[in-house]
Each structure stands twice: as C-alpha cells, then as structure tokens.
Amino acid sequence: MSDDKVKSAAMGTFTRYLTQHKLRKTPERYAILEKVFDLNDHFTVESLYAALHSDGYHVSCTTVYNTLELLAEATLVRRRTFGRQPAQYEKIAGLTNHHHLVCTRCGKVREIKDSAIDATLSSLRFGTFRPAYTDLYIYGVCSRCAKKSRASADKTLLTNKNTAKKQHK
C-alpha cells in the first residue's frame, strides 16, 4: 500500500471514529493526522509540535496532546515510553513491524525485525480481549557496554570516577 493510500485510509478511519463518538472534525485534528502520517518514524509531542509550526501551521501544545490521545484511541497511532524519556508516538499503519532492543546500561535503543516473532504474536487470541497491535522490548546489554564493563573489571582505579558519575545520570 502506498503512503498516500495509507494516509487517506487513516483519514477515513479517523472521520468514522469522530462521527461515531460525536466529536468534531476540526482543521487542527486533520492537520495533525496528516503530519503524523507524513512522518516515517518515532516522534515526540515536542517534535510534532515543532514540525507543524515550521510548516507555518499553528496548533497549541494542548491540542497536540489532545489529538494524539484521540488518534491512539482510534488505533491510528501508538504511544510508547523508553526509559525516562518523553513519550514517543508513531503511526500504526504503513510502518513495517519492528521490535526494540534496549540496553539496560546506556539506554540505547535498536530496532529489529523478526518474522518468527511476528508470526507468534499475530496468532495470539485472548478470549474477549481483541488484540490490535503489540509492543515487544528486549532488554539486555549492548556490545559496547559489555566491552566497557569487561575493561573496567581490570583498571579498577581509573574507572572509579566513571561509575560514580553514572549514578546520577
């Protein structure tokens, strides 16, 4: 499906959602939806807000939050949180499915694709609960951090300062 088709399908879904819930179809809401579907990766409230403004379109922060919540309820956008960073959002349709490797040491996130996981996940059924999409985080230590800790096991005195600082990060 082309990006444009994905976008217009999303607009249709959103319109239906708004109608069904007796909510208003305001220009702000559609402007935000369009922008979200133009972006091809994660974004935060702030970056979306900035992107809209740099397009010369003024929307308040409140409205961005508001609309993203609606879009999330309409299953057009997902919201995720990594560590203690601000919430990240991304459109649901039109993105290839992916999962996240998160380093517990440095917080770095790497995206991965794995069809075996996808197959298992998409076959899930839970009685009355209707799954729409899933989120998988795999925590561990990235190679860089693993190497670092192997190194520090030796030069104990030198790394002293580093480990102390880490604590307050």
Q: 159 exposed, middle or buried (CB, 10 Å; 0-12, 13-18, 19+)?
A: middle
State the DSSP H helix or E strand holding residue 152, giving kind and residue range, or none if neither.
helix 143-152
Nearest-approach distance from CB 124 to DNA, in angstroms: 28
CA within 13 Å, CB half, 138: 11
Residue 155 binds DNA, judged by CB under 7 A: no
Residues 6+ apart with CB under 8 A from 76: 10, 13, 14, 33, 36, 91, 92, 93
Is-contact 158 147, C-beta < 8 A?
no
Q: Retrieve residue 26's tokens.
A: 């305001």
Among 26, 104, 120, 149, binds DNA (CB under 7 A): 26
59, interface contact from DNA, its own copies, none, CB < 5-8 Å by kind: DNA
Amino acid at 6: V
Among 33, 48, 59, 71, binds DNA (CB under 7 A): 59
Classified as helix, coil or strand, 144 is helix
Note the residue count of the chain.
169
Among 5, 16, 25, 110, binds DNA (CB under 7 A): 25
Among 129, 154, 155, 165, binds its own copies (CB under 8 A): 129
Residue 96 binds its own copies, judged by CB under 8 A: no
Provide the binding-site residues for its own copies, judged by CB under 8 A: 20-23, 66, 69-70, 72-73, 75, 78-79, 81, 83-84, 87, 101, 103-105, 110, 112, 114, 116-117, 120-121, 124, 126-143, 146, 149, 152-153, 156, 159-160, 163-164, 166-168
Provide the binding-site residues for DNA, judged by CB under 7 A: 18, 22-29, 44-46, 58-63, 65-67, 69, 84-87, 160-161, 164, 167-169
